[in-house]
Amino acid sequence: MQVKMKVNLYHLGMSSDTHDFPKLFGDVKFVCCGGSSKRMEKLANYFTENLPVNYPYGFKPDNLCHSDRYVMYKVGPVLCVNHGMGHGSISTMLHEVLKLLRMANCKDTIFFRIGTSGGLGLPGGTVVISESVVDDLLEDSFEMHILGKRVRKPTHLDSSLNNELLKIATELNYNTVIGKTLCSNDFYEGQARLDGAFCDYSKEEKLQFLQKAHLKGVKNIEMESSCFSAFCTRANVRAAVICVTLLNRLEQDQIDAIDELEEWEQRPVNVVTQYIAHHFNDAYN
C-alpha cells in the first residue's frame, strides 16, 4: 500500500493534512504577487469589485495563510500573495506557492509580479514591463548558491504576454515602456544609493554605474524580478513583471512625489486587472 507523504507549506501555514488543495485551489489560473501584505489585501479587494466574480455585495476575501510570514487571498481564479522584499523572501514564497499549485493540479497558470521601482531616465509614473532581467553585476541570469557552488539560472519572461500588457497600458494612456530591469538584492548600496547608513563611493561613481546600466537598456531597478523570473522559467510558467517608477534614479535617490504615489501605484494594477478580465472566461474553459 502506498502511503501519501504529508506536504507542509510551513511559511504559508498550510499542509496536506489541513487543506484539500485541489478543492480549494484547483481553479487558479492567475497568481499576482507584490511586496507588502497591505498592498495584496487591497489588490484582492480591488479584484473582487472589478472582476466578474459572483460574490455577494460587501464580500471581503479572507487571508488564507495561517502564518505571519505571508498573506494569500483568492478571488475566483486569482491568487494574490505578498512576497516581502528581496530574493530570500520571494524565493520561499515561490517554492511553496508552486508546490501548492502542483498539488492542486493547476494547469497553465500565469504569474505577475506587480510593484514599484526606480526608473532610469524615466519620470515617475512610468509603467515598465520587463522584457528581461539583469542582476546587479549586469549579467542576464540569477545567481544561486547550491551545495557550496555558484549556479546561474536563466531569467526569461513571456514576450507575447508583455505585448498584451503593453497594448492595454497604451489604451489606458499610461506612459509605458518595455525594457530590461536591474534586480538588486539590496535597497541602498546594491542600487547605488547615496543615502544609506554607509556609502563608500562618490556621486560620480554612482552615476557612472547607473549610466552604464542605462546604456545596456535597463529601464528600472527593483529587488525581486531576477528570482521571480528565474523561478517561473524553471517551472515553465508564463510570467510578467510590471512595475511603476516612483522617481528617476539618474536625478535623485529619495522618493518625494507623495501626492502622486497612490495613483501611480494603481497603474500596473489596472493593466493586470484588464488583462485578467479579458481572459476571465478562458479560466473556466
Residue range 66-99, pLDDT digits in tens: 999 999 999 999 999 999 999 999 999 999 999 9
Mean pLDDT of 163-182: 98
Binding residues for substrate: 191, 193
The whole-number pLDDT of residue 92 equals 98
82, burial (CB in 10 Å: exposed 0-12, middle 13-18, buried 19+)? buried
Cell numbers of 91, please? Answer: 524565493
The whole-number pLDDT of residue 285 equals 59
Cell numbers of 224, please? Answer: 525581486
Backbone φ, ψ for residue 227 (5° rounding): -65, -45
The whole-number pLDDT of residue 256 equals 86
Any residues with CB less than 8 A from the CB of 194 and at least 6 apart, and which?
203, 206, 253
Of 245, 263, 257, which is closest to residue 115 (Cα–Cα)?
A: 245
The whole-number pLDDT of residue 180 equals 98
The model's confidence at residue 4, banded by pLDDT at 50, 70 and 90, is: low
Topology of domain 8-284, CATH: Rossmann fold (3.40.50)
Binding residues: 69, 113-116, 191, 193
Residue pair 221/180 in contact by the 8 Å Cβ criterion: no
pLDDT in tens, 223-238: 999 999 999 999 999 9
Residue pair 44/32 in contact by the 8 Å Cβ criterion: no
Q: Which amino acid is at 217?
A: G
Crossing angle between the packed helical segments 37-50 and 261-278, to the nearest 10 degrees: 50
Of 140, 145, 135, 178, which is closest to residue 156 (Cα–Cα)?
A: 140
Cα–Cα distance for residue pair 115/162, rounded to 1 Å: 15
- pLDDT beyond 50 at 3: no
Cα–Cα distance for residue pair 209/233, rounded to 1 Å: 28
Cα–Cα distance for residue pair 191/184, rounded to 1 Å: 6
- pLDDT beyond 50 at 1: no
Binding residues for phosphate: 69, 113-116
Residue pair 202/192 in contact by the 8 Å Cβ criterion: no
- pLDDT beyond 70 at 24: yes
Domain ranges of the chain: 8-284
Cα–Cα distance for residue pair 38/26, rounded to 1 Å: 25
